């Protein structure tokens, strides 16, 4: 969330996050000094592509934050970003994802 990182949650409005009522309404909104959700999905894509070429089909354990988990899930499932549900990602939660359909 750029300059808003670590600040009050009340400042994370849909105008600066692109998320309203638990749904991504504009994946291109970029908070000051931050990334849009589309930018984060692009980073997720680069990671998946690099991991796929370097690791073959070896399972990976990836430790990351909720925004990147949502981005990885969106990329791996080919879900459209507009209208994506911004569901809770609990601390220390485990998510299983597959990139096999992306190849």
pLDDT of res. 102: 52
pLDDT of res. 99: 65
CA 19 – CA 26 distance, rounded (Å): 7
Q: 3-state SS of 40-51?
A: HHHHHHHHHHHH
**33-56 pLDDT per residue, tens:** 999 999 999 999 999 888 888 766
Residue ranges, the chain, pLDDT below 50: 103
pLDDT of res. 27: 97
DSSP state of 95: -
CB-based contacts of 37, cutoff 8 Å, min separation 6: 18, 19, 24, 27, 28, 29, 67, 70, 71, 81
Q: From the CB of residue 9, how many other CB atoms can be counted at a distance below 10 Å?
A: 7
Residue carrying the six token digits 């930018």: 39
pLDDT of res. 103: 46
């Amino acid at each position: 969330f750029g300059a808003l990182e670590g600040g009050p949650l009340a400042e994370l409005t849909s105008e600066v996050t692109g998320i309203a009522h638990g749904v991504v309404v504009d994946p291109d909104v970029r908070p000051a000094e931050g990334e849009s959700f589309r930018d984060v999905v692009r980073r997720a894509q680069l990671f998946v592509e690099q991991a796929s070429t370097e690791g073959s089909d070896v399972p990976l354990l990836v430790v990351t934050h909720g925004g990147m988990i949502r981005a990885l899930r969106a990329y791996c499932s080919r879900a459209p970003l507009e209208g994506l549900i911004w569901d809770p990602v609990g601390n220390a939660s485990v998510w299983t994802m597959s990139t096999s359909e992306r190849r």
